[in-house]
C-alpha cells in the first residue's frame, strides 16, 4: 500500500461517529505527561498528528469541547456527541490545521506505534520503553525527529 492511497478508518465506542484519515499521519506521539494520564485515566496517550483536512468525518457528529492543557493555551477535544469518546484534539499551540487523532479510536491501531515518547519525566515507572524508539523527558524539535516528508507536509500547512 502506498502512502498516498492509504486510508485509515476509526470511530467512537457507540459507533455513531466514523471517520478516516486519508493518508498516513505525520508523526505519532506517545505522551506520558500527567495531563494525558488524567485525560485517559491511563498511563499515556497515543496521538497521530495529521493535517486537519486529512481527517474526514464519514458519519455522525462531533462536539468540540474546550479543555485545559499542559501549555496553558488549551485544547479543543472533538468527542462523539452521544458517547463522548474523544476522537481527536486541536491544540492552541499547534493551530487548527493540525489534529491529534487518538490512535486507540482507529480500527487498526496496531499500524501506528509511537515514533517518539514524550514527557517521559512523568512516565509511570512500570512502563518500559523500547530502546529502538526515541524518548525525550519533555518536548522536542520536529526538525530533529520527523522524517523529511513529514516536515515538508507540515511546512505546507
Ligand atoms: Zn459515540
Ligand atoms: Zn500529554
Q: What mean pLDDT is predicted for residues 104-131?
A: 97
Ligand lying closest to the C-alpha of residue 16: 1
Instruction: Give the per-residue pLDDT at 2.
Output: 44
Q: Closest-lying ligand to the alpha carbon of 86?
A: 1
Closest CA to 12 of 75, 84, 77: 84
Q: How far is the CA of 112 from the centre of ligand 1 (A)?
A: 22
Q: Give the tens place of pLDDT for each residue, 53-102.
A: 999 999 999 999 999 988 888 999 999 999 999 999 998 877 789 999 99
Distances (CA, A) of 42 to 18, 34, 39, 46, 157: 24, 10, 8, 11, 32
Sort 145 into a burial class: Cβ within 10 Å, 0-12 / 13-18 / 19+: middle
Which pLDDT band, with edges at 50, 70 and 90, does 121 fall under?
Answer: very high
126-136 pLDDT, tens digit each: 999 999 999 99
pTM reported for the whole predicted model: 0.93
Which ligand has the minimum distance to the alpha carbon of residue 38?
A: 2
Amino acid at each position: 500500500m502506498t502512502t498516498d492511497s492509504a486510508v485509515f478508518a476509526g470511530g467512537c465506542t457507540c459507533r455513531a461517529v466514523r471517520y478516516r484519515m486519508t493518508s498516513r499521519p505525520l508523526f505519532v506521539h506517545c505522551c506520558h505527561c500527567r495531563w494525558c494520564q488524567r485525560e485517559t485515566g491511563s498511563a499515556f496517550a497515543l496521538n497521530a498528528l495529521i493535517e486537519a483536512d486529512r481527517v474526514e468525518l464519514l458519519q455522525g457528529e462531533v462536539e468540540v469541547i474546550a479543555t485545559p492543557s499542559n501549555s496553558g493555551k488549551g485544547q479543543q477535544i472533538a468527542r462523539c456527541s452521544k458517547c463522548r469518546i474523544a476522537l481527536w484534539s486541536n491544540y492552541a499551540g499547534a493551530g487548527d490545521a493540525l489534529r491529534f487523532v487518538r490512535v486507540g479510536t482507529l480500527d487498526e491501531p496496531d499500524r501506528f506505534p509511537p515514533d517518539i515518547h514524550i514527557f517521559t519525566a512523568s512516565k509511570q515507572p512500570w512502563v518500559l520503553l523500547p530502546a529502538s524508539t526515541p524518548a525525550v523527558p519533555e518536548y522536542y524539535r520536529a526538525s530533529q525527529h520527523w522524517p523529511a516528508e513529514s516536515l515538508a507536509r507540515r511546512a505546507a500547512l
